[in-house]
């Protein structure tokens, strides 16, 4: 006869979740301490909503649901195979998790279905509260304790079957379920992710300085990308997968079977110049139901300018020169930086024309810095 835990697991699998584990609703004390330390050290700066108060709630499931007894931890893979990379036009990179539909919508819908059906399957009343990334819940701490995977040194949860290419979701519930045991696995002596991170954001094993992470800089940051970090962002225009791409555990990861997360056309390695030309309506169209919409049109175009500057292809100069007339000062400033980095007569001329126009102080400074860089390059 199936146990209640079997019913939970089988139902999760039936709804398309690749992994299902169970833990108690006891607090995640190690994680709470670590997260508070991280906030106090300024390493979560820039995420204004990530407060000590939120950390306390996120690590105490009983605060999140009155009478909570268990947390059902679920994972679904988004590993949809190698990035498409065709054509010679300058192209950027979007992180794999954003190649398909927005996971918040897809997973939330499925979690609601899971909770609704659970009562019928178990034959008892079940109270639940669901979380997918956006609520106050420490998804990784729950997944680790429920035995879904272990904390990698890059801070991602590594699952033995699907690597770290998984979204995590939690159902806090008032029913008592037998908890699974955490895995005994660790990263051992491997440090590939720490060595590969271009910005040095993994400052120690299991410790990420959010302020340096390309994922933060290209998705969450609303203002200018700090100048010293721009060259290190490379061609990433939304998120970053470097510390996962180099991970040996991910080399053996099973592929995602979820249709909603399959790669949309020109998403993994999109052509950059057309992105620079999008207006608000065009952006909405292109990124409807996609996680990329979180960066907003202006944020994405800021990132595209940085990527074009780093790629250094002179074919981008006319589009960047046009971007010097963008309605957004942020885009104008980053376009100036990119032109300064690419260099050449055409770039110089467009920067000089823009500098003669009235500009906001920040944009004016970006243009002057770019012009200085070009005149130093000419001297050298």
Check if 133 is active-site: yes
Residue 66, exposed/middle/buried by CB under 10 A (0-12, 13-18, 19+)?
exposed
Instruction: From the list ligand B12, ligand SF4, none, pick the one residue 319 interacts with, judged by a Cβ distance below 5 to 8 Å according to partner type.
Output: none
Strands (E) in 150-272, as ranges, are 150-151, 157-158, 166-173, 202-204, 207-208, 236-238
Residue 362, exposed/middle/buried by CB under 10 A (0-12, 13-18, 19+)?
middle
Binds ligand SF4 by CB under 6 A, chosen from 121, 192, 294, 296: 192
Given 45, 86, 101, 133, which residue is catalytic?
A: 133
The residue with its CB nearest to ligand SF4 is 152
Contact call for residue 79 and ligand SF4 (CB under 6 A): no
- Positions in 167-206 near ligand B12 (CB under 6 A): 167-168, 206
- Quick note: the x/- pattern for ligand SF4 over 167-186, rule CB under 6 A, is --------------------
Residue 156, classed as helix, strand or coil, is coil
Contact call for residue 29 and ligand SF4 (CB under 6 A): no
72: CB partners within 8 A, 6+ apart: 8, 12, 20, 21, 22, 146, 170, 171, 173, 177
Contact call for residue 201 and ligand SF4 (CB under 6 A): yes
Alpha-carbon distances of 124 from 127, 201, 214, 271, rounded to whole Å: 10, 47, 46, 53
Instruction: From the list ligand B12, ligand SF4, none, pick the one residue 242 interacts with, judged by a Cβ distance below 5 to 8 Å according to partner type.
Output: ligand SF4
Nearer to ligand B12, 46 or 329 (CB): 46
Sign of CA dihedral 28, 30, 34, 40: positive
- Positions in 202-221 near ligand B12 (CB under 6 A): 206-208, 210, 213, 215-216, 220
Instruction: From the list ligand B12, ligand SF4, none, pick the one residue 51 interacts with, judged by a Cβ distance below 5 to 8 Å according to partner type.
Output: none
Adjacent-strand bridge partners of 73:
21, 170
Distance of CA 76 to the CA centre of its chain: 16
Say if residues 230 and 337 touch (Cβ distance below 8 Å): yes
Task: Kindly list the residues in this chain that would bind ligand B12 in the complex (CB under 6 A).
Answer: 30-31, 34-35, 38, 47, 95, 97, 132-133, 137-141, 151, 154-157, 164, 166-168, 206-208, 210, 213, 215-216, 220, 239-241, 243
What is the contact surface with ligand SF4 in residues (CB under 6 A)?
152-154, 158, 187, 190-193, 197, 199, 201-202, 208, 213-215, 240, 242-243, 246-249
């Amino acid at each position: 006869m199936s146990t209640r835990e079997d019913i939970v697991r089988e139902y999760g699998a039936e709804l398309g979740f690749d992994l299902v584990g169970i833990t108690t609703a006891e607090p995640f004390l190690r994680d709470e301490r670590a997260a508070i330390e991280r906030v106090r050290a300024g390493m979560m700066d820039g995420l204004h909503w990530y407060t000590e108060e939120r950390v306390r709630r996120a690590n105490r499931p009983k605060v999140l649901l009155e009478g909570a007894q268990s947390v059902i931890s679920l994972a679904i893979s988004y590993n949809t195979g190698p990035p498409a990379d065709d054509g010679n036009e300058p192209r950027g990179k979007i992180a794999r998790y954003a190649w398909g539909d927005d996971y918040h919508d897809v997973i939330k819908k499925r979690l609601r279905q899971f909770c609704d059906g659970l009562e019928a399957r178990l034959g008892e009343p079940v109270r639940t509260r669901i979380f997918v990334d956006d609520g106050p819940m420490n998804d990784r701490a729950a997944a680790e304790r429920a035995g879904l995977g272990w904390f990698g040194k890059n801070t991602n949860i590594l699952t033995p079957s699907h690597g770290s290419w998984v979204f995590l979701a939690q159902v806090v519930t008032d029913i008592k379920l037998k908890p699974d045991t955490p895995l005994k696995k660790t990263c051992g002596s491997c440090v590939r992710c720490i060595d590969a991170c271009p910005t040095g954001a993994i400052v120690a094993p299991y410790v990420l300085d959010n302020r340096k992470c390309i994922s933060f800089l290209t998705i969450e940051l609303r203002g200018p990308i700090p100048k010293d970090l721009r060259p290190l962002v490379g061609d990433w225009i939304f998120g970053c997968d470097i510390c996962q791409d180099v991970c040996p555990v991910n080399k053996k990861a099973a592929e995602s079977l979820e249709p909603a997360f399959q790669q949309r056309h020109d998403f993994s390695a999109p052509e950059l110049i057309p992105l620079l030309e999008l207006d608000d309506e065009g952006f909405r169209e292109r990124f409807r139901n996609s996680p990329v919409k979180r960066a907003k049109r202006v944020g994405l175009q800021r990132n595209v300018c940085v990527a074009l500057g780093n790629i250094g292809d002179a074919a981008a100069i006319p589009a960047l020169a046009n971007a010097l007339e963008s309605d957004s000062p942020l885009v104008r400033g980053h376009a100036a930086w990119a032109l300064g980095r690419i260099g050449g007569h055409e770039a110089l001329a467009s920067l000089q024309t823009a500098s003669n126009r009235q500009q906001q102080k920040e944009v004016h400074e970006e243009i002057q810095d770019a012009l200085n860089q070009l005149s130093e390059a000419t001297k050298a």
